[in-house]
Structure 1
Amino acid sequence: MNVKKAAAIFSITFPIISAILIINFFTGVISIPWQGMPVFFPLILSPIGIILALVLIKANKRCAIYGIVLNAIMFLFPFFWFIGGTLLFGV
């Protein structure tokens, strides 16, 4: 496997992993010891995925665009979650 294929796979895998952790946070299917951390993971993983997608953009434009869009959505999720929680619950 060459480096560009690995970058494509990782740039799309990071938002999928973040989404799975957030869905598990909401549903509680699997108990994890770090209770609020799945909401913070996109803040760490998404910039890495965006950088990988930007490196990949000349080799495989379609996968790179998917990676950038998915990572951007996942990066913004924690901010929407915190703002929505403040607006709804007033904490």
Structure 2
Amino acid sequence: MQRKFILLSYLLFLVPLLFIVNFLFDIITLEKIQGLPIFFPFIFCSVGLFFASKAFQIKRSPMALGAIIANSVLFLFPFIYMMGGTLIFGV
């Protein structure tokens, strides 16, 4: 059960990360969801953080701790992105 939670948590981390990388570097043009990839971590990473914390409660492993840290950092990315844009570009 713990392995499934960790795998699901990392999957919920990678999906928004791929969307963010695509948004920043415009690898594949997604015109219909223009700014939405920046806000995907709010939904995906909060669920991933829940599964990672459950896995950490079952068994304290470094993989579960890494999933908690990764999901937490990506959850904070939209705030950092918006504040950085305001500070740097003044928009």
TM-score, normalisation: structure 2: 0.89
Q: 4+ residue runs of structure 1 moved beyond 4 angstroms?
A: none
Conserved? CA contact 1:12–1:66, under 8 Å: no
3-state SS in 1 of match to 2:19: helix
Identity of aligned residues (%): 33
CA distance in structure 1 between the partners assigned to 2:84 and 2:33 by the alignment: 22
1:72 aligns with 2:72: yes
Alignment match, 2:27 = 29
TM-score, structure 1 normalization:
0.89
Unaligned runs of at least 5 residues, structure 1: none
**In structure 2, what is the equivalent of residue 38 of structure 1?**
37
Whole-Å separation in 2 of the counterparts to 1:83 and 1:62: 31
- How big is the shift at 1:6? 1.9
Comparing 67-76 and 50-59, the one that deviates more: 50-59
Alignment of 1:1-91 (within 5 A): 3-32=1-30, 33-57=32-56, 58-59=58-59, 61-91=61-91
Cα RMSD for the two superposed structures: 1.2
